[in-house]
Structure 1
Amino acid sequence: MSEQLMDGVRRALDGVFASVLATCDADGVPNVSMISQVHYVDPTRVALSYQFFNKTRRNILATGRAAVQITDAVTMAHHRLELEYEETQTSGALFESMKAKLAGIASHHGMDGVFRLLGADIFRVRAIEAVPGPVFPCREPDGSLLAATRRACAALDRAEDLDELFDAVTAALEREFGIEYSMVLMLEPEAERLYAVATRGYPTSGIGAEVLLGEGIIGVAARENTPIRIGHMTREYSYGAAISETARRVGLVGEGAVGIPFPGLGAPRSQIALPIKGCGRPAGILFAEAEETMRFGYEEEDAMALVAMHLGARMALLQLEEDVDDVTDAPKEPSPAGHVTMRFFAVDQSVFFGHDYLIKGVAGLILWRLVSEHLKTGRTEFTTRELRLDPSLRLPSHAENLDARLVLLRKRLEERKACVRLEKAGRGRFRLVANCRISLEEDGA
């Protein structure tokens, strides 16, 4: 069999139509059943959803052989795959990807709570046979995904800092792929959460909104370091109130906790989350969603995965360049007007201006450190290098994402129209600008 043969039938593996699975027992007695999901693993392997211990399952374990017929929803072409059983996975990236997709399929067919993935049965494809029958012509796509991917990556190359880069990638998804709703979230591994640094298409920006590691397809994609894609709406992988409830249940927040609402669609019918990798580790997630079903297929996943990969590479390069000392002239300081009390809560490193919540976590700790030093010494200019070396910030050496946190902080200050803001002062340097008198109040409990 050609090593690339499975790539030509991937569209039939999206679960639009149930597939037909045939097995035999040790005596050669056949059994035919429907199966919810045939999942592409690589050019020579597929995974079948193991949901019930039934006659089909017993036959597979007894003989290690099966045949499955798949259907292309666009052309209605049928193909029969001859399969040889290898193993069953009950956890990990492949299992979680299939679990998420199955949840969408179950919700689409009104089978929530009935379809539950017990394992991913991995099979080697021994042969592929076209089944005779009428085949409809496939309309050529309006544009080339490969060309769109190239243009998107070129747009990322033009970004001069992380601020521009994060906004450039969401703009490129809309311009080149027609994806209206998207966001970039960065991983804060020590807190086991992700936070939004760029969003596009939503009524509210949601900059700083958080997703717990393992929550929804964003959290699962980050935890397993694998793409997760759903083609139908499912409550199991929704956001909003569910995230707050999960956070309370595991003790991360209390009943009176404040935060930034997740900006996602209320009823998305398609979602995709792709890891952004930095130095071989997950650094964040590129996320997109749509109001129509089956918006993202295998081809779109491939294209967006390349964009996410290039985004990670550009992030790493720009972060290296940030350490180069390059100074610009400081603007004239405005005269302070008004007064605000900046409150800091050490328990979660949250910062409030008066009673208005701004940010928490490492970004909150950074702001508290900068303003405290400014009030103590009058200093206004700082470098990313000194923050990286500051032990009080407790940045993890392997994945500190300092520059992304500064982007988040700058955007939140601008969005809240705070009397404090951060400005670029050159490569690797930034400036704290205060337009009001500030007093500090710290709660160390």
Structure 2
Amino acid sequence: MSEPGIDGLRRSLEGVFAALLATCDGEGVPNVSMISQVHYVDPGRVALSYQFFNKTRRNLLATRRAAVQITDPETLAHHRLDLDYEETQTSGPIFESMKAKLAGIASYHGAQDIFRLLGADIFRVRAIEAVPGPVRPLPPDRRSLLAAARRTCEALDGLQDLEELLDGVTGALAREFGIEQSIILMAEGGGDRLYTVATHGYPSGGVGAEVLLGEGVIGVAARENTPIRIGHMTLEYRYGAAVSATARRAGLLCEEARTILFPGLSAPRSQIALPIREGGRVAGVLFAEAETVMRFGYEEEDALALVAGHLGARMALIRQEAEEAEAAAAPAPPPGEGMVTMRYFPHDQSVFLDHDYLIKGVAGAILWRLAREHLATGRTEFTTRELRLDPGLRLPAPADNLDARLVLLRKRLEERRACLRIEKSGRGRFQLLASSRLALQQAGPAEDAV
């Protein structure tokens, strides 16, 4: 006899209606209470939110049996799940996903100080029973998310350039899924943060904005390598300048701005973040948000996970083709006019053009290396291969996101209308073009001109 499956009941697990949880003590005396969250784990398991040590908890530990009634928010159909307790998890992907969702539910009900997740109780579903009652029909003409994912993946297959690919994903999300605000972030290899490389639907681009691992839905999705969704607005998973502002007040950052504001909505009601994987590791995060409550459900999560997986595969293929390809050298551009001073701070690899902050981190180190060689030798064309092999750059291992950092650098230069720009000149080749003469300064014990 096959085990019951709950895939068709996932709408009932979104937390729109509170679930009813029934347990019995060792003597068979029943107890019924409301529970904040029933979370889908796999077709045969669910997780219940463990928030209080009360009679329900004592009964559960004594008998390891429970029953929970769930409600579909669209059809109002009720189902009862008979459950066998397996374990309680206090960390990891399931726990973090439930913690994020519970924070949204708590904010929606104004109970942030009450809804605190202590653990995720994992249960095996022993039986499923439909509860008699009236059922509403589903609304007609619902968007086919599987078809949207298929069309998006087919569109990505036609893009051969990494920058086109990243921008193509966010455009396809708007076109095929109706998702107007989305962001692609890449992981800093071996580091503790992600950086923005493509955005859609925001007044300011925000390319180069950073998110720390574990910060908000994006940072948690990257750290735990699992999708994270929130259906209601919550302060706990918001992004902003609070971290950098606090560090600046404490004297940990100098007064010159070295941050780019994250381009998120000011008051999002729903957010979803999905890891972009390459070879089992997290290479980046696909993020989307909306101003409507409960915009992203389990079905949207499944469809967007397919898109994120395909994006990771396309990124790896484009990088491999770029490394193997060769192209003819392009002619050097004419020398520019005027003078701009590029200042470089090795401690955080930040670059300023005159007194305006441009970029930091690996992208800053790359730009400094290119500018120095350009002034020393007159070179304007470079290859990604030589950057990967340059020990002076100290690229994180693996250096798989080098192409994404170059996209970030090119977009940042374009956003700032800088005197420098980076243009592709062939597979694995690019040019550094200057419209002004450069003077280089590296900060140290004293700022010595180079």
TM-score by length of 2: 0.96
Q: Deviations over 1:383-413 (max 9, x none)?
A: 1111111111112333541000000001101
d(CA) in 1 for partners of 2:350, 2:400? 18
Counterpart for residue 401 of structure 1:
401
Residues 247 and 289 from structure 1, CA distance in 2 versus in 1: closer, same or farther, beyond 3 angstroms?
Answer: farther
Q: SS where residue 184 of structure 1 aligns?
A: strand
Asked whether the equivalents of residues 100 and 230 of structure 1 are also in contact (C-alpha less than 8 Å), the reply is yes
The structure-2 alpha-carbon separation of the partners of 1:246 and 1:96, relative to structure 1 and needing over 3 Å to count, comes to farther
Cα shift at 1:49: 0.3
Aligned-residue RMSD, C-alpha: 1.7
Partner of 1:376: 376
Alpha-carbon contact 1:212-1:247 (below 8 Å) kept: no
Aligned residue runs from structure 1 range 341-356, under 5 A: 341-356=341-356
Instruction: Give the AA of the match of 1:46.
Output: V
Provide the residue aligned with 1:9 in structure 2.
9
TM-score (norm 1): 0.97
Matched, 1:287 2:287: yes
Question: 1:347·1:444 contact (CA, 8 Å) conserved in 2?
Answer: no
Match of 1:25? 25
Please give the alpha-carbon distance, in whole angstroms, between the structure 2 residues aligned to 1:252 and 1:40. Answer: 42
Q: What runs of 5+ residues in structure 2 fail to find an aligned partner?
A: 446-450
Equivalent position of 1:215 in the other structure: 215
Shift of 1:2: 4.7
Separation of aligned partners in 1, 2:353 and 2:82: 64
Which letter maps to 2:348?
D
Q: Compared with structure 1, are the counterparts of its residues 408 and 241 closer, same or farther at alpha carbon in structure 2 (3 Å cutoff)? A: same
Q: CA deviation at 1:243?
A: 3.9
Aligned to 1:83: 83
**Corresponding position: 1:170 with 2:163:** no
Q: 1:145 to 1:418 in 2, by over 3 A?
A: same
In structure 2, distance between residues paired with 1:209 and 1:278: 22
Partner of 1:58: 58
Which stretch shows the higher mean deviation, 188-197 or 413-422? 188-197
Other-structure match for 2:448 = none
Q: Secondary structure at the match of 1:33?
A: strand
CA 1:343/1:377 → structure 2, altered by over 3 Å: closer, same or farther? Answer: same
2:113 partner amino acid: G
Give the 4+ runs in structure 1 shifted more than 4 A.
Answer: 1-4, 245-257
Which whole-Å CA distance do the structure 2 matches of 1:39 and 1:279 have between them? 28
2:429 corresponds to 1:423 = no
The answer (yes or no) to whether the contact 1:215–1:243 under 8 Å persists in 2 is: no
For residue 375 of structure 2, what is the amino acid of its counterpart?
Answer: L
Name the aligned partner's letter for residue 289 of structure 1: E
Query: Percent same amino acid at aligned positions?
Result: 73
Q: CA deviation at 1:141?
A: 4.1
**Where do residues 8-407 of structure 1 align in structure 2 (5 Å cutoff)?**
8-245=8-245, 253=253, 257-328=257-328, 330=330, 333-407=333-407
Letter in 1 for 2:204: T
CA distance in 2, matches of 1:246, 1:408: 26
Q: CA 1:140–1:328 in structure 2 vs 1: closer, same or farther (change >3 Å)? A: farther
* Distance (Å, rounded) in 1 between the aligned partners of 2:18 and 2:262: 33
Contact 1:97/1:229 (8 A) holds in 2: yes
In structure 2, how many angstroms separate the alpha carbons of the residues matched to 1:248 and 1:114? 32
Distance in 1 (alpha carbons) for counterparts of 2:178 and 2:138: 20
1:298-343 deviation per Cα after TM superposition (whole angstroms, max 9, x unaligned): 0000000000000000000001011123325625613412110000
CA distance in 2, matches of 1:301, 1:4: 22
Cα distance in 2 for partners of 1:105, 1:339 equals: 55
Say which SS state the counterpart of residue 169 (structure 1) adopts: helix
- The change in CA–CA distance for 1:245 and 1:101 in structure 2 (over 3 A counts) is farther
Tell me how far apart the structure 1 counterparts of residues 22 and 247 of structure 2 sit (CA, whole Å): 44
Residue aligned with 2:324, SS? coil
What amino acid is the match of 1:211? V
- CA separation in 2, counterparts of 1:249 and 1:79? 53
How many angstroms apart in 1 are the aligned matches of 2:312 and 2:282? Answer: 9
What code does the residue aligned with 2:238 have? S
Larger mean CA deviation between 289-298 and 388-397 belongs to 388-397
The alpha-carbon deviation at position 144 of structure 1 amounts to 1.4
Q: How far apart, CA to CA, are the structure 2 residues paired with 1:236 and 1:141? A: 36
- 8 Å contact 2:258–2:359 — kept in the other structure? no
**Change beyond 3 A, Cα 1:320–1:376:** same
Q: Deviations over 1:182-228 (max 9, x none)?
A: 00000004330100000000000000000011100000000000000
**What is the letter of the counterpart of residue 7 of structure 1?**
D
Deviations 1:90-127 (A, max 9, x none): 00111000000000000000001211000000000000
- Name the count of aligned residue pairs: 445
Q: C-alpha offsets along residues 52-96 of structure 1, whole Å, 9 cap, x if unaligned?
A: 101001111110000000000000000000000000000011100
Q: Partner letter of residue 23 of structure 1?
A: T
What letter corresponds to residue 206 of structure 2 in structure 1? G
Name which of structure 1's ranges 334-343 and 144-153 shifts more when overlaid on structure 2.
334-343
